[in-house]
């Protein structure tokens, strides 16, 4: 490794006690956008509103160009698949809620310096493609196989290590029938930012497993130790802690933002009276069994009405609760518990990479009566959102 590559970003770092978001973090946040939370009113997220995370560059794929995907390693019949050929096979579709493992990172103290997500790195789409297990069966996986390694076409540097984006899955996970080689999102060809022309979709797992711009599938007989597996995406309490791998999504509930926002602070404003609180909840290990809401910053909780998973076990569920807003300041919260009994903490246990922070969302709201005839808003000349 050329030491100059390591100097480009320097070592992994935590923000100082009062250190604001840097221009580098802002640059990442501008490229990697989140879901506008008001879009959670719909079951499916339109592609342009689904969160995006791209470690390096979106590869250029010319329209109509061939896209050979190799299937090799510990298989008896190595294959080369073309996306056009995959499209002729019997398709499978799965509705999947996908969330970045770094969602919630910017709320940790100290803040690990990286993509600074608050809570918005999530989206739900219907992915159509070919079950990976069918392709692996066709390639005849050898008995010695333990994992399958997936390589994307994007290339870059991370903490001094030059690499293609690459991740592995244990063989048993790769063979799950709902794991797809997907070429469509919500019934249309994948958009460039979501992996056109082919990506892996691993329902239940955090986003990093869903390798985009997929060009290689390799079956291996020892656990994969590439950067994104062994160095990144591990829950570590300290830099020398070997840690444990990030895998499935922890439970989380989010509120559709109630009322209307203040432009800059995004603080929510609403009127006194009945308010329907609603949102979405998901978990990667088992369906969400209960959602509770709090209107007093987590001091007391009441059960919300939770819609059944309804044939979409890998997608978020919607929930609703009624509340009568009274004038003043309130902090609204929602908390999901899944069928395995995993629930969301009020305070997050910290880890060096800032992964899996599913601490309960806090939504401050200001309840004010409607402006009277004399209370028309005055334009603030110092504030131009353009």
Ligand X SMILES: Nc1nc2c(c(=O)[nH]1)N[C@H]1C(S)=C(S)[C@@H](COP(=O)(O)O)O[C@H]1N2
* Residues at the contact surface with ligand X, assessed by CB under 6 A: 50-55, 98, 100, 152, 154, 165, 193-194, 207-208, 210-213
Q: Is 100 one of the binding residues for Mo ion (CB under 5 A)? A: yes
- Indicate whether 284 belongs to the interface with Mo ion (CB under 5 A): no
Backbone torsions φ then ψ of 49, nearest 5 degrees = -105, -15
Smallest distance from ligand X to CB 53, Å: 4
- Rounded to a whole number of angstroms, the minimum distance from the CB of residue 193 to ligand X is 6
Residue 212 interacting entry, from Mo ion, ligand X, none, C-beta within 5 to 8 Å by type: ligand X
Q: Which of 40, 53, 288, 291 binds Mo ion (CB under 5 A)?
A: 53
Binding partner of 15, given Mo ion, ligand X, none, CB within 5-8 angstroms per partner class: none
Q: Which does 211 bind (CB under 5 to 8 A by kind): Mo ion, ligand X, none?
A: ligand X
Residue 100 or 139 having the CB closest to ligand X: 100
Nearest partner of 129 among 217, 52, 2, judged by Cα: 217
Report the C-alpha gap between 136 and 245 in whole angstroms: 24
In the bound complex, what is the minimum distance in angstroms from residue 86's beta carbon to ligand X?
18
What's the min distance (Å) between Cβ of 168 and ligand X?
A: 13
Smaller CB distance to Mo ion: residue 207 or 251?
207
Binding track over 126-155 against Mo ion, x by CB under 5 A? ------------------------------
Question: Which CB atom, from 52 or from 181, has the smaller least distance to ligand X?
Answer: 52
254 binds, among ligand X, Mo ion, none (CB under 5 to 8 A by kind): none
Contact indicator for 206, 100 with CB cutoff of 8 Å: yes
202 binds, among ligand X, Mo ion, none (CB under 5 to 8 A by kind): none
Span near Mo ion by CB under 5 A; candidates 95-103, 162-170, 272-280, 372-380:
95-103
Looking at beta carbons only, is 15 or 54 nearer to ligand X? 54
Nearer to Mo ion, 107 or 271 (CB): 107
Count of residues touching Mo ion (by CB under 5 A): 4
SS (HEC) of the chain:
CCHHHHHHHCCCCECCCCCCCCHHHHHHHHHCCCCCHHHHHCCCCCCCCCCCCCCCCCCCCCCCCCCEEEEEECECCCEEEEHHHHCCCCCEEEEEEEECCCCCHHHCCCCECCCCCCCCCEEEEEEEEEEHHHHHHHHCECCCCCEEEEEEEEEEEECCEEEEEEEEEEHHHHCCCCCEEEEEECCEECCHHHCCCCEEECCCECHHHCCCCEEEEEEECCCCCCHHHHHCCEECCCCCCCCEECCECCCEEEECCCCEECCCCCCEEECCEEEEEEEEEECCCCCEEEEEEECECCCCCEECEECCCCCCCCCCEEEEEEEEECCEEEEEEEEEEECCCCECCCCCCCCCCCCCCCCCEEEEEEECCCCCCCCCCCCCCCCCCC
Q: Cα(102)–Cα(121) distance, rounded to whole angstroms?
A: 8
Nearest distance from residue 184's CB to ligand X, in Å? 13
Binding at 95: pick from Mo ion, ligand X, none (beta carbon under 5-8 Å per type): none
Q: Which does 213 bind (CB under 5 to 8 A by kind): Mo ion, ligand X, none?
A: ligand X
- For residue 15, which of 355, 362, 352, 240 has the smallest C-alpha distance? 352
Q: Using CB under 5 A, which of 116, 203, 207, 258 touches Mo ion?
A: 207
Residue 68 or 327 having the CB closest to ligand X: 68
- Least distance between Mo ion and beta carbon 206 (Å): 7
> Cβ closer to Mo ion: 208 or 293?
208
Residues that bind Mo ion (CB under 5 A): 53, 100, 207-208
């Amino acid at each position: 490794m050329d030491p100059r590559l390591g100097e480009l970003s320097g070592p992994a770092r935590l923000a100082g006690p009062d250190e604001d978001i840097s221009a580098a973090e802002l640059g990442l946040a501008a490229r990697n956008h989140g879901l506008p939370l008001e879009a959670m009113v719909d079951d499916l997220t339109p592609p342009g509103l689904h969160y995006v995370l791209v470690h390096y560059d979106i590869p250029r794929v010319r329209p109509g160009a061939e896209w050979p995907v190799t299937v090799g390693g510990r298989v008896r019949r190595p294959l080369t698949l073309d996306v056009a050929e995959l499209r002729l096979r019997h398709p499978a579709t799965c509705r999947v809620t996908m969330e970045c493992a770094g969602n919630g990172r910017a709320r940790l103290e100290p803040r690990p310096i990286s993509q600074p997500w608050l809570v918005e790195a999530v989206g739900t789409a219907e992915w159509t493609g070919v079950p990976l297990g069918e392709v692996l069966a066709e390639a005849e996986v050898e008995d010695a196989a333990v994992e399958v390694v997936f390589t994307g076409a994007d290339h870059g540097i991370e903490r001094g290590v030059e690499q293609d984006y690459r991740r592995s899955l244990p063989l048993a996970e790769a063979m799950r029938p709902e794991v797809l080689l997907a070429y469509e999102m919500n019934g249309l060809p994948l958009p460039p930012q979501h992996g056109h022309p082919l990506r892996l979709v691993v329902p239940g797992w955090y986003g990093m497993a869903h390798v985009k711009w997929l060009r290689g599938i390799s079956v291996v007989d020892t656990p994969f130790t590439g950067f994104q597996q062994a160095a990144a995406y591990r829950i570590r309490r300290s830099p020398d802690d070997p840690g444990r791998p990030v895998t499935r999504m922890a439970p989380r509930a989010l509120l559709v933002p109630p009322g209307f926002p203040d432009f800059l602070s995004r603080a929510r404003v609403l009127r006194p009276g009945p308010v329907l609180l609603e949102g979405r909840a998901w978990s990667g290990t088992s369906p969400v069994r209960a959602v509770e809401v709090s209107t007093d910053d987590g001091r007391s909780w009441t059960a919300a009405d939770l819609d059944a998973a309804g044939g979409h076990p890998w997608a978020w569920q919607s929930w609703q609760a009624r509340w009568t807003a009274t004038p003043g300041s309130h902090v609204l919260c929602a908390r999901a518990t899944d069928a395995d009994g995993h629930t969301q903490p009020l305070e997050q246990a910290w880890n060096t990479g800032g992964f899996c922070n599913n601490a309960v969302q806090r939504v401050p709201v200001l309840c004010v009566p409607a402006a009277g005839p004399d209370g028309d808003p005055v334009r603030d000349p110092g504030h131009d959102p353009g």
